[in-house]
Amino acid sequence: MSLSLALVLALAAAPDVTLKESLDLATAAADICQTKGFAASVSVVDTQGVVKVTLRADGATKAPVAAPKKAATAVAFRAPGSELEPREKSDPAFAALIAAKPDLYNAHAGSIPLYRGEVLAGGLAIGDVPHAMADQCVREAVQKFPLK
Phi, then psi, of 134 in degrees rounded to 5: -60, -45
The two beta strands, 41-45 and 111-116, are unpaired
Question: Are the beta carbons of 39 and 60 closer than 8 angstroms?
Answer: yes
What's the confidence (pLDDT) of residue 15? 84
31 inside domain: yes
Sequence-separated (6 or more) residues with CB below 8 Å from residue 81: 70, 73, 74, 106, 107, 108, 109, 110, 111, 112, 125, 131, 135
- CATH number of the domain within which 53 lies: 3.30.450.150
What's the chain's Rg over C-alpha atoms?
Answer: 15
The conformational region for residue 128 under phi > 0 = left, psi -120 to 50 = alpha, else beta, is left
Distance of CA 92 to the CA centre of its chain: 23
What's the confidence (pLDDT) of residue 18? 96
The domain tally of the chain equals: 1
1 inside domain: no
57 inside domain: yes
What's the confidence (pLDDT) of residue 8? 55
32 inside domain: yes
3 inside domain: no
Query: In angstroms, rounded to a whole number, what is the distance separating the alpha carbons of residues 24 and 99?
Result: 32
8 inside domain: no
Range of the domain at 54: 15-144
- Which pLDDT tens digits describe the chain residue by residue (148 residues)? 455 555 555 555 558 999 999 999 999 999 999 999 999 999 999 999 999 999 999 999 988 999 999 999 999 999 999 999 999 999 999 999 999 999 999 999 999 999 999 999 999 999 999 999 999 999 999 999 999 8
40 inside domain: yes
Which 3-state string (H, E, C) describes 79-128? CCHHHHHHHHHHCHHHHHHHHHCCCCCCCCCCEEEEEECCEEEEEEEEEC
73 inside domain: yes
